Amino acid sequence: MKVAGLAGTLVAALAGMFVLGASSLVPEIARADGEHLVARAGDGQAGFAVNAFLPEQITVAVGTTVRWDFPWWEPHTVTFGVPQVGAPPATASGSDYDGTGFHSSNLLFGPGESYAVRFAATGTFDVYCVIHPGMVGSVTVVEEPGMADTQESLDRRGLEDYDRELALLEAQAKAWAARPIEREVLGDGTTRHTVYIAGETPKGDVQTFFPPFIEVALGDTVRWRSVTVTGHTVTFGPFPEGIPRAGNPAVDNRSVPGETYRGAGYWNSGMMGLDLPSGTNFEMQFGTTGSFYYYCIPHVDQGMTGAVRVTEDGAVPSTPIPAAT
């Protein structure tokens, strides 16, 4: 999620309205009238989230219902207009929008989620996601069906937009993966190794640690450094089942229960990122040998995991660290 500075404060407050409501609390209106078209609200694959409406511009005939599917784990909203004091935070899926007032889905975590809007008046209407400032688009509603998109044209342009944004993210990931690991010998003779949290565009995020797997010596320190606006965590230990990940102090705040990590306990960097309260750096010294897996709480479903292998002398082991499960 891109939440930073004053704009981020406003976005976070607005997002909080949506987190409070489960999608099941907003009924869906079943309609059989008019054309039905399907687009996507974001998409992604392991290590990458494309935060864009796919496609960004849609043209439909008046009376058409557009359903946005949420195929990836990154949460989004489909939102038209500006929230009004006293207005409900979300509108029933499938209801009419005539270009006036506030009309929005809840904050939906895919896959399997969807949100539909029936466009009841002509005009061009801006659509946006409340937690991703670069995720904007428009729906143009016309009288003549012959001027409108078909499902085929939406699918084609949506795929083109997705492929373009994914390629930009993959290029960043490739560049970061090629960088040598930064290592610094400290005054006590141990070494500090730096792992970067990096890679983002206005319409997407790289959900990977660089490097994702690292070998260190007993007593060494690993420093995670974030260079992204999007917030991420570095978390060791199980996250309690049933506790919400959004707006939760156990996610947002730092937890360091000891001077050195010995393979137990809940250790958490808090939400790290540029202009975020937990800052951009988090360090842990390792006081026991073994392989220790960690993850980013908001993005673990998207494959953002890593591992630290600690050996007596820091020698690269003969067998690789297996992927986290």
The domain that contains 256 carries what CATH number? 2.60.40.420
Which residue among 132, 167, 202 closes a domain? 167
Which residue among 167, 184, 204 closes a domain? 167
Residue 323 lies in a domain: no
What is the mean predicted confidence (pLDDT) over 124-131? 97
Q: Are residues 14 and 161 in the same domain?
A: yes
Where does the pLDDT of residue 80 fall: very low under 50, low under 70, confident under 90, or very high at 90 and above? Answer: very high
Return all residues near 279 (Cβ < 8 A) that are at least 6 apart: 272
Instruction: Please determine, for residue 323, whether its predicted confidence score (pLDDT) is greater than 50.
Output: no
Residue 321 lies in a domain: no
Where does the pLDDT of residue 4 fall: very low under 50, low under 70, confident under 90, or very high at 90 and above? Answer: very low
pLDDT reported for residue 110? 86
Instruction: Please determine, for residue 5, whether its predicted confidence score (pLDDT) is greater than 70.
Output: no
Please report, for residues 68, 77, 176, the alpha-carbon distance to residue 97 in angstroms, rounded to integers and kept in the order given. Answer: 15, 16, 44
- Least confident piece of the model among 8-22, 27-41, 94-108, 109-123: 8-22
Q: Reduced to 3 DSSP states, what percent helix, strand and coil does the chain have, rounded to the nearest 5?
A: 20, 35, 45
Where does the pLDDT of residue 22 fall: very low under 50, low under 70, confident under 90, or very high at 90 and above? Answer: very low
122, amino acid identity: T
Nearest to 251, CA basis, from 237, 235, 265, 263:
235
Residue 91 lies in a domain: yes
Where does the pLDDT of residue 89 fall: very low under 50, low under 70, confident under 90, or very high at 90 and above? Answer: confident
Which residue has tokens 């009841």? Answer: 120
What is the mean predicted confidence (pLDDT) over 197-201? 98
Residue 317 lies in a domain: no
Please state, for a pLDDT cut of 90, what percent of the chain lies above it.
Answer: 78
- The mean pLDDT value of the chain amounts to 88
Q: Are residues 265 and 307 in the same domain?
A: yes
* Distance separating alpha carbons of residues 227 and 207, to the nearest angstrom: 13
Read off the tokens for 116: 């539909």
Q: Domain range holding 226?
A: 175-311
pTM of this structure: 0.86
Q: Are residues 40 and 180 in the same domain?
A: no
Residue 52 lies in a domain: yes
Which residue among 146, 167, 188 closes a domain? 167
Read off the tokens for 134: 């670069």
Instruction: Please determine, for residue 240, whether its predicted confidence score (pLDDT) is greater than 80.
Output: no
Q: Are residues 113 and 29 in the same domain?
A: yes
pLDDT tens for 23-62 read: 434 445 544 456 899 999 999 999 999 999 999 999 999 9
* Distance separating alpha carbons of residues 200 and 36, to the nearest angstrom: 33
Q: Are residues 158 and 202 in the same domain?
A: no
Which residue has tokens 């996610």? Answer: 251
265, amino acid identity: G
Instruction: Please determine, for residue 21, whether its predicted confidence score (pLDDT) is greater than 50.
Output: no
281, amino acid identity: N
- Least confident piece of the model among 42-56, 144-158, 241-255, 266-280: 241-255
Q: Are residues 32 and 157 in the same domain?
A: yes
Residue 79, SS3 per DSSP: strand
Instruction: Please determine, for residue 199, whether its predicted confidence score (pLDDT) is greater than 70.
Output: yes
The tally of domains found in the chain comes to: 2
pLDDT reported for residue 319? 45
* Distance separating alpha carbons of residues 267 and 245, to the nearest angstrom: 15
pLDDT reported for residue 23? 41
Where does the pLDDT of residue 84 fall: very low under 50, low under 70, confident under 90, or very high at 90 and above? Answer: confident
pLDDT reported for residue 203? 98
> Cα 304 from chain centroid?
10
* Distance separating alpha carbons of residues 170 and 176, to the nearest angstrom: 10
Please state, for a pLDDT cut of 70, what percent of the chain lies above it.
Answer: 83
Q: Are residues 19 and 163 in the same domain?
A: yes
What is the mean predicted confidence (pLDDT) over 116-138? 97
Q: Are residues 147 and 251 in the same domain?
A: no
Nearest to 292, CA basis, from 246, 270, 245, 260:
260
What is the mean predicted confidence (pLDDT) over 289-300? 96
pLDDT reported for residue 88? 74
Instruction: Please determine, for residue 98, whether its predicted confidence score (pLDDT) is greater than 50.
Output: yes
